[in-house]
Structure 1
Amino acid sequence: MAPTWEEIRAAPKVILHDHLDGGLRPSTVVDLASRVGHELPASDPEELGRWFVEAADSGSLERYLETFQHTVAVMQTSEALTRVAAECAEDLAADGVVYAEVRYAPEQHLDAGLTLDEVVRAVEAGFREGERRAAEAGRPIRVATLLTAMRHAARSREIAELVVRYRDTGVVGFDIAGAEAGFPPTRHLDAFEYLRRENAHFTIHAGEAFGLPSIWEALQWCGADRLGHGVRIVDDLAASEDGNVKLGRLAAYVRDKRIPLELCPSSNVQTGAAPSIEEHPFGLLTRLRYRVTVNTDNRLMSNTSMSRELALLSETFGYDLDDYQWFAVNALKSAFIPFDERLALINDVVKPGYAALKAQRTLIGLRPVAAPGASSAR
């Protein structure tokens, strides 16, 4: 039986790839913009929300990234950063997320005079406040932070040092992001070598807008623990007429090493990394037993949530509660928090949560219903 929308919302979820500046509430963007005098494409929250989706829905990563000019513009004070982070934690928890790694680039929030350290402290304060509110609402969540360096800039070593400085107060890893073409991860080898020396974790945006060379450099030159997106690993797979799939050397390495793929289905369609949800490699990579995880990337730009992503995948590939649990466990196995904490979340939160859903289904005989908006998404 296909999961109902209520089951999908209640299912314990784990997310590894969610951008803080890509998940603001439209009403918050409008409010903060009015306070700082930033001009928006629309002043009505509902209209603005539609604009973000339409502007991002271009098939181009570069055009997609332009939408962030408006969200970043209103995230330049400690108060704004704390508010956005708290609301992020609340929104994820309300959607059934029990563990989240949320990323942002501190270097993009310095226009009003904040220092990098002040940015990090403001965001961490917001996440702790959001966790508190979520717990009071009966939807506990743990939020960890990834600090991102922009791949076209030259501050990656500085951001890597920031990760190490705050790794005992909520920051669990490092990332690089931005347009892939022309900005290979090897430009930031100094940062990655420093992180390895400091026993720190990092992921790299790779294999989204650019193909196998980006993935290869991220893994074999830089030593990434995970692949941010990594969807283009499908370029190293070849299906034969009998339906068998032959793995190239890199594709086999990624699977053999259990390297996590931070897949973001709706976002991948928007940026042109996949032609549609139906043609997204998620189904094939899952069937081949890659370590796939489900993620939102940018909830505002994709008008999405973890529940909506799971609903789309169920509608397209027929996934059920057992699959959802597998995706969540995959993500926790790949998370950047300590092993014992990951194991506790798996055994004390995720597995009991799914067991309760299955028991309830058996008890009351829930019938499947369509997820709101699922069939309208590409």
Structure 2
Amino acid sequence: MPDATFSTPATRELVHNQLLSVKKEKAVALERLNKKLLLAIREQQATTLELSNAKLRTERILESITEAFYTVDREWRFTYVNKEAENLLRRPRGDLLGKVLWKEFKEAIGTIFDREYHRALAENTTVKFETFYAPLEGWFEVHAYPSEEGLAVYFNDISERKQSEHARQEAGARIHQQASLLDKATDAIIVHGIDHRIQFWNEGAERLYGWTSEEVSGKSIEMLYEDILAFKEATSLLLNSGEWRGEIAQRRKDGGILFVEAHWTLVRNEEGQPQSVFAINTDITQRKSAENKIQYLAFYDSLTGLPNRQLLLDRLRQALAARARNHRTGALLFIDLDNFKLLNDTFGHDSGDLLLRQLAPRLISCVREGDTVARLGGDEFVIILVTDLAKIMTQPLLR
């Protein structure tokens, strides 16, 4: 028997309308769902594009940096290699990507690369080291950073720096050896900069001047000079010619004055600019003292300390030359002592010598500094007055 529920037209129309309403609601729901799916797809595409752009930007940055860079996953397979890494590893990235690090660089197994890379992942810590890698014939500075994906490695070729360090070490060793030899030298050997700051001071300098190397290090070399002008003149000649030889007075720690025979050499840097001064100073104080004594004996009377006949003649020539140039007047006095022979014969030569020694300062006190009192010999004296006041100056002597 047929169902009477849908038998009437009104009922069928009602059911039809309900079905249409349900379909419409489903269509609306499906449309909303489609819109959400499209929005999600677009967002996913945008995210993918952003990630792709970010990756591209990152790769561009990694390609442009001067450091070599590569990454490996936790299976030690290369996932990225930049251009500089290709150059330093001497392998194109196409040969490395997807390959296992330890299979491609078998010589690194058991080395510091092996130990430190595994430690970085095991302890999740950054590692840094420097090492020589024989297959690539170079020194490398390596920084490795662990992550969830694996290991990121930055490295640089530092072979030139290591060569420079080695050269400096060798130079330092040579300098140390040479310094040891210089310390054994009896002469004072000093090195100071163009700024006059003392850089090296050997044991010979310590003995000669009294200051230790620690006391003078970094101090000005001018501390040695009583006459700064003489030092500056010598330094000026040194800078002009690159070398200076001469005799110069210097000062000891105790304040005493000494004389040295100096040989200074200008040291230049690689650009040819003055860098320092290498000085060898030989103590000639005793020799200078002996020379002064010899000169004194040659030109001065040993009894009275007055100029002798030889120096008198030299002073007289100078006075005559000055008179010719400047038309200056002067006077020449000859003096002898009355009854000097009788004094010697009566009281002895010691008494005569005592009289002569007492007379010398009295004569000097009667003349000016520029005049000359000389002893010819015996009881004979000569005075040279070279000023226009010569006539006036003779009055105290005549009295």
TM-score normalised per structure 1 = 0.15
Which structure has more RCO (C-alpha within 8 Å, separation ≥ 6)?
1
Which protein shows a greater Rg? 2
